[in-house]
Every structure is written in structure tokens, then in C-alpha cells.
Structure 1
Amino acid sequence: MVRLMMILLGVEYLRNRWRSLMAVGWLLLVVGMGVFIDALDGALGFPITLVGWLLLIESALTLAVAWAGVGGQRRLRHAKGIAFALAAALIFEGNHHGHFILSILIGIAFVLDGLLQATSALVVRYRRYQVALGFAVFEILLGVFMIQPYPTHYKGTVPYCVGAFFIFAGWNLIVVASRVRKLASNPAVWGDPSAEAASVAGNAGDEPRHALQTREWDGPPADDEPALTVHVWTPVGSSKAQTQWHPIVDRYIAAVDRNGVISTGHAALEAPDGTYVSLYPAVEIDRSPDDFARLLRATRENDVPGLFQPSYAIESKAWCPSTVRVRIRNYDALRLARFWSTYREDKTYNLTYRNCSSSVSRALEAALEGAAGRLYGARAGWGALLRMIVTPELWVAAQIRKRAVTMAWTPGLTLDYARALSMVADPRPYGWLKVARMALMKMRDSRREWRAGGSNADPPAQV
């Protein structure tokens, strides 16, 4: 979440507010520790019922506007609304059984997530995987702490979660404030000295950023509208033969056809100025089931020469058109071009840590750097930060990024990541505000029709 906030808000926006971010971070950290400690002695002073009402209200608002979503967004909103309603019901139930069920569900979620992260770290062995493994162990221990009854006999589960949320949120804000205080460029995007130096040199000649003329859009860009385009060939859509059905696996990892051939899909990024990001192995990699597990290791022995495709027209003609496209209006062409000029100097390809999907995701982050602050330009205030934080897709993007960084970027993850970031960069009107406006317009039209019908009605008969 820290790196994603730095990317979308931009270093300049955060650097101008580092003192306030630091103060808010310490406040949330202290409050979170107080709430967590309060739940340890069994005598709760925390208003747990208030959390239940907040969850219930959020659930009602989410379910009320779930129909306005598209595809996976609609399913995500339904899942969120149902989960919040279930949590609120368990909180209101209040006795031992409600607290017990809620504790078990939350604890199992932590344990499963920790096991998934630990397994991926041990299998992929990417750089600094030991750090991710340490966080995974901590998450598993936190899940076990939620499941076992000592010392509060499950009554402190909700305060634990609220306190932990405040603690992590406060710590993240402190980290952001500390990092951006003296930064001249964004390490969340560049990540290596040569690219960072190029960014600093380029920033010296940048023109001041201005606010966009439009801050909200009703939908994605039209086909004839200039926009950044993320092309994704899904594993199933790019397979040459009919694939076997494996839920989730063939969506996010790979598809296996009837001949046993594995298809991992592909991802590319296209800009209106001609920039095209598409990395592919120069020599086709053997992706048979016997060798696929070995190729998952993000180690030097699995590095192979890569090839950058010249354009989407050439690549799609040689292969097939992309399965899905995600288009974004609010991007920085200069930052994207600067990133691409540096990134393409290294033609190394690795199936796990430097593949087509990771290249597209990094290029997308470079293009969207400062997108949230750019919506308002120099007038961007705390409202820009608040709006970004309350956008559900930001939290989805953060979770996707966490999974991809600790495991590997795949076309499926890149597709969901681009969709989530598009909702932050090109924000849509708030769902419940849209519903309220539609309801008011319908009431106004109905009243107008009623008045028109009343004026055209026959006068009453004289008695």
C-alpha cells in the first residue's frame, strides 16, 4: 500500500505534506496500540457495536450500488457487501458463539494467506524472499492468535482487528512521510540507480503539471479517444487448442490444452505516441509440465535473452489480437517514455521476475505516477488523498500488487491490476451518489409527467 500511494499521489504531493502525514501516522499508531491493549484484559472499553453498525451501513451501500459495476467489479462488490453484512451480524449476535465464529473465520483467513505467501516465497525464491517469508510467518502467528481463546476468550477479536488496522495504517503513513521527506524522484517506480538518475535529470526540465479539465468520467475511453492501452492475452484465449477447465488456475497462472501444452498468456502496453512495451523470450521456452516447476525459480540460471516486440499491429498480426483491453486517459507520457528508454536497455527475460507481465506492470506504474494528484493540479489538497483512500479499487490493487511481487506477475494479475488502477486514475462518480442522482431524476420526471397529465385532464363535471 505504501508504494502504491507513492506512485499514484507522486513524490511532490506527498513531500509537501510530510509533516501532516507523520503526525497523523503517529496518532493512528498510538490509538491502535491503545485499542489492541484494551482488548487484552477482557474488560472491553471499545465501542464494538459501533463497528457493527458501520459495517452494516457500508454493506448496505455497497450492495445498493453493486449493480453499477462491470464484470469482476460487480462480483467484488457483492462479495464485499455480503462479507460485511455477515461480520456485522456476528458482532450484533454478541454472545460467545458470535465472537467464536468471527474469530475462527478471521484467523483462518490470516493463516491461509500466510501459508500462500510462504509457499510462493519458497517456490519462486525471488530476491529478498526471506523478508516475505518472515512476514508470512508473522501473519500465520497472528492468525493462530485470533483462533486460540487466550486471553480474552474471543471477545477481543474485533478490537484486535481494529487496533491492528490502525497500527498498520499509522506505520504506513510514518514510512511514507519518512521516505518522501528528502526524495527527488520516486523509488516506488524506478527502483534502480540508473533509472532514478534519469528521472532526476528529466524532472529538471519538466513543465509544471496542471489539473485535468475533467476529474470524473462516466466510463472507459472511446475507441477513437487517445488513451494508454493495456493489452492482455489470457492463457485460455491465447491457447491454440481447446483447454482443460481448471478454475482460478487457468485465469491467473496458466492453461493446459488437451495435448498437455501449457499456455501462460501475454501482456503488452501501448501508448498513443508509439511507445510499445512487450517483452518476449527471444527463443521459445519449453513449458512442458516436467520443466515448468524448475522455470518458476527467479534465479539467474533461468535468465534467457529477451525480445521487445516493435508494435501491437505487428505482434497481433503474427499471433492473434489481444483478448482483453484496459484503456486509461490520465497518464504521463513523458514519464512513460523516460522509463521505457532505460528499461529496454536490458533485454533479459525471466519467466518469474522479469517477464511480459512484470514489464507492463512497471511501465503502467511509471505512466500513472502522480495520477491522483494530477487530477487537481496545484489545487490538490487532502481531498485527493481521502478520495483515493476510500476508493475500493485502491485496496484491491494493493492486494494484487502484494501477491504479484511475492509470487510472480501473470497476465491475469496484470489485467486485474490495470482495471483497478484505471478506476483510481480515471475515477468514476461515487456509486451511491450516482444512484441518488438517478433516483432524484426519476422522481423529478415522474412529478413532471404527473403535472402534465393533470393539466391535460378533463375538468370535473358540474353538479
Structure 2
Amino acid sequence: MVRLVMILLGVDYLRTRWRSLRMMGAASLLLGIVVFIDALDGALYFPITPFAVLLLLEGLATLAVAWTGMGGQRTLRYAKGIAFSLAAALILAGHHHGHFALSMIFGTLFLADGLLQIVSAHVVRYRTWRLATIGGGVEIALALFFYQPYPTHYVGTVPYCLGLGLIFGGWNLLLLSTRVRRLVSNPAVDSDAERPDNSDAATRAAMTNIEWDGPPAADEAALTVHVWTPVGSAKGEARRQPIVDRYIAAVDRNGVISTGHAALEAPDGIYVSLYPAVEFDRSPDDFARLLRATRENDVPGVFQPDYATESKAWCPSTVQVRIRNYDPARLRRFWDAYRQDTTYNLTSRNCSSSVSRALEAAIEGASTRVWGGLGGVGGLGGWRPFLRVITTPELWVAAQIRKRAATMAWTPGLTLDYARALSMLADPRPSGWVRMARLAMRKMVRSRRLDREPADDPSMLRTLVSDHRATAAKTNEEQR
């Protein structure tokens, strides 16, 4: 999550606040340790009931406005509301059963994530696979801690989780403050070696405090992420395998594997689409060998010239994600450096990893451009951009996707979800309450117009039908 926050806020913003970030991280780390130790003796001083009530209110409030979300945002809000409400209900239920259920849930989540991380590290063998294996072992140890009843017979489950959350959050803030203290450019975007010029300030001022009520229009200039899903790009009829054919690969009736494809297109002509220069065998036997991110699996690659050429030679992309708020200069610097190397590797340097890196370069500083302005304490809008970023649920989703891709491999499915999450961070939408208030106001205005006009007025009926069709069309576009 540290690198993602660095990307969204930009080094210029974070470097001026490294001392405050360090103090916040140290305070969070110490508070987390205190809460965790307090729960070990079974005599809880943590106000668990008020915490559960607040959690329940947050869950119910999220569910109340979840329907106003768009596409994946709506799904995420429902998931968050249900999870918070369920956790709060189990806490308030108390006694042994509620605490036991929470412990089993958290333990299973840690166990599944740890095992997946270890297995994927040993299969792919990327550069830091040994560190990932250690991290997976730590998660399994935490799972065992939640599974066994000692020392509180599951009563301390919630303080344990809160304490761990504060500890990990504080540690991440300390890492963030240490990394940005002396940075000139952002290491999260490797090719961005030079500092941005002052033209970015004008762009930031022009975009201050903008919220978009939907995705970019068809005629609006925007960065486009094209994704060919494994099922959508399979040559033959694919055998459906839930999750596998969404995030890894699809296998058709003839046994041929399709991994899908991803590309990034910018309005100024940049097109990032890396493909192997010579198509290699993707039979199941050979595919297992190619999964390793080692040098012996490097092959020559080629960058496709543009979307029109690629879609005509193959097929149109299955899904597109469009983002308004991006920096063309940063994207251009990234592309000028990245395209010098045409090496292709199925797991470590493929089409999806290329698109994800290009997307990160393009949206660097996006949150500061929107929420920062040029004023506030310390410049760039004070702490408002930071608070907006860390309180947006899509940040957690994007961070988890990025972590999974880093420990396994970038795939078109992960790139699609990552682009969707980043689009909600770069092009912020109104909060659920704001959107619901707007819809209520529109309904009130239409009702008043209906009261003022005769019911049999043909022009009034035509206006109401037109408004209804426009609203329905906009809703359908947002869902897509």
C-alpha cells in the first residue's frame, strides 16, 4: 500500500510531510502494540461494545447508499456494508459463539492468503520470492494464533485484529516517511527519472476539487485500458472454470490455453501493448514451465503499433476502462524509456505488467491534482488529499490486487480490476450521500414540475419521458 499511496499523492506532496507521517506512524504502531498486549491477559480495557456499535452504524450507512454506486463501486459498497454489519453483529452477540466465529473467519483468511502467497512464490520464482515465502509463513502463524483458544478463549479476537491493523498501518506510515524523505523522483515509477516541470501546477489548479458523476463520455479525451479477457479471446469455445478463467487462463475444447491480453491507449498516440515476437506453445505441459519468471523464459517481444491495427488483426477488446485524470508528460517519459527494451516474459514482463506500470506512471499525483489545489497547510491542499486517499475503499482493493500481482503475476483479469479501482481514485465520484441527495432533488424538481403543469399537456409528457430515458441511459453507461 505504501507504493500505491506514493503513486497517487506524488513525491512532491509527501516529501513536505515526512515528519508528520513519521509521528503518525509511530503513534499508530505504539497504540497497536498497547491494544494487542491489553487483550492477551483476558481482562479487556478496550471499549468493545461502543466499537461494535460504530461498526454496525457504518455498515448500515454504507448499505443505505450502496445502490447509488456505479458498477464495481456498487459491489464494493455492498461487500463493505455486509462485512461490517456481520462483524458488528457477531461482536454484539458476545458469549463464546460470536467470538469463536470471528476467530475462525480471520484465521481462515490469514491461512488462505499465506498458503496462496507461498505456493505462488515457489511456482513463479520472481526476484523476491524468498521474502514473500517468509511473509506467507507469518500469515500462517497468525492464522494458528486465531484458531487456538489460548490465552483468552477467543474473547480478544477484535482487539487483536484492531491492534494488528494499527501496527501494520503504523509500520507502513513509517516506511512511507522514510522513503519520501530525500526522494526527488518516485521509485514506484522507475522510468520517471526527472522531476515534473511547473506546468503540472497549472494542471493541478485547473482540476482542483473536481468530482465526476460517471465515466468519461465517448467523445471525451481519456486514457483507455483495453482488456481482452481469457474467455473472450479464446479461439474456440472455452470450458468455464470460475475464477481460473477470470484471472489466470481459459482452456478451450481443444485444450488450447488463452491467457487474454491487455493494452493501454492514450489520446496523444501512445499505445502500450507488448506481445511475444514469435507465438510460443501454450499447451498445458509447456505452460507450467513458462510460468517461472526466470531469465531462461525471456523471449523477444514486440510492441503493437496502435489499437486499430491490433484489434483488426485479432478482435476488439472485451472491456475498456477509461480515466480522465492522468499526466501525459509522465506517461510519455515512462514510455520513452520502457519501449527501449522489448524483452517478453510470461510472468515478470508481459502485456499486463507493462500496462499496469504505464498506468501507474500516468496517474502519479492524480489525487493531489484533484484535491490539492495550491493552498493549505504545507501547500498542495494540506492534508485533504491524504485523508481522501486513505479513506477511499478502492485504495485497499487496489493495494490487495497489486500485492497479489506482485507475488504471482500480472494477468489481464488482475489488470482489469486494478484499472477499475484506480479509476475510482483518480476520477473520484461523489460520496453515496451526496449522490443520493442529488437524486432526491431531481425527483423533487420533477414532481413540482408535474404539479405545476396540466397532466394532459403533451409537451409535459414528452419532457418526462425524455428525462426518464436520459436517466436510464446514464445509469446503463455507469454500470458498464
Establish whether TM, by shorter chain, passes 0.5: yes
Does residue 263 (structure 1) correspond to residue 264 (structure 2)? The answer is no
Q: CA deviation at 1:22?
A: 1.0
Deviations 1:171-212 (A, max 9, x none): 11111111101100001111xxxx35xx22x53676535323
- The AA in structure 2 aligned to 1:136 is G
- 2: distance between equivalents of 1:127 and 1:133? 12
Q: CA deviation at 1:388?
A: 1.1
- C-alpha contact 1:42 1:155 (8 A) present in aligned 2: yes
Does residue 392 (structure 1) correspond to residue 393 (structure 2)? The answer is yes
- 2: distance between equivalents of 1:81 and 1:162? 18
Pair 1:57–1:283, CA change in 2 (3 A): same
1:428 aligned residue: 429
2:373 aligned residue: 377
- The AA in structure 2 aligned to 1:416 is D
- 2: distance between equivalents of 1:92 and 1:452? 53
- 2: distance between equivalents of 1:39 and 1:237? 50
- The AA in structure 2 aligned to 1:398 is A
Deviations 1:57-114 (A, max 9, x none): 2211221222223444333322222222111111001101111111111111111111
Does residue 253 (structure 1) correspond to residue 248 (structure 2)? The answer is yes
Q: CA deviation at 1:439?
A: 3.1
Corresponding pairs, count:
446
- 1: distance between equivalents of 2:434 and 2:103? 34
Pair 1:274–1:447, CA change in 2 (3 A): closer
- 2: distance between equivalents of 1:181 and 1:437? 42
Q: CA deviation at 1:444?
A: 6.5
- 2: distance between equivalents of 1:390 and 1:62? 13
Picking from 203, 208, 211, the partner of 2:201 is 208
Deviations 1:312-367 (A, max 9, x none): 11111111111110000000000000001101111100000100000000000000
Picking from 292, 310, 323, the partner of 1:328 is 323
What's the TM-score once normalised by structure 1's chain length?
A: 0.93
- 2: distance between equivalents of 1:452 and 1:341? 61
- C-alpha contact 2:248 2:411 (8 A) present in aligned 1: yes
Deviations 1:283-337 (A, max 9, x none): 0011100111111000011000000001111111111111110000000000000
Does residue 37 (structure 1) correspond to residue 37 (structure 2)? The answer is yes
What's the TM-score once normalised by structure 2's chain length?
A: 0.90
1:141 aligned residue: 141
- 2: distance between equivalents of 1:366 and 1:140? 34
- 2: distance between equivalents of 1:241 and 1:67? 37
Does residue 64 (structure 1) correspond to residue 59 (structure 2)? The answer is no
- 2: distance between equivalents of 1:140 and 1:212? 48
Does residue 89 (structure 1) correspond to residue 92 (structure 2)? The answer is no
Pair 1:49–1:441, CA change in 2 (3 A): farther
- The AA in structure 2 aligned to 1:426 is D
- C-alpha contact 2:70 2:214 (8 A) present in aligned 1: no
- 2: distance between equivalents of 1:140 and 1:125? 20
Name the SS of the counterpart of 1:421 in structure 2.
helix
- C-alpha contact 2:239 2:250 (8 A) present in aligned 1: yes
- The AA in structure 2 aligned to 1:339 is F
- 2: distance between equivalents of 1:222 and 1:351? 34
Does residue 296 (structure 1) correspond to residue 291 (structure 2)? The answer is yes
Q: Summarize the alignment of residues 25-424 of structure 1 with structure 2, pairs less than 5 Å apart.
A: 25-190=25-190, 195=191, 199-200=193-194, 203=196, 208-209=201-202, 210-213=204-207, 215-375=210-370, 376-379=372-375, 380-424=381-425
Deviations 1:8-39 (A, max 9, x none): 00000001111111111111111111111100
Range with bigger deviation, 205-214 or 10-19: 205-214
- 2: distance between equivalents of 1:440 and 1:223? 27
- C-alpha contact 1:61 1:432 (8 A) present in aligned 2: no
Pair 1:203–1:76, CA change in 2 (3 A): closer
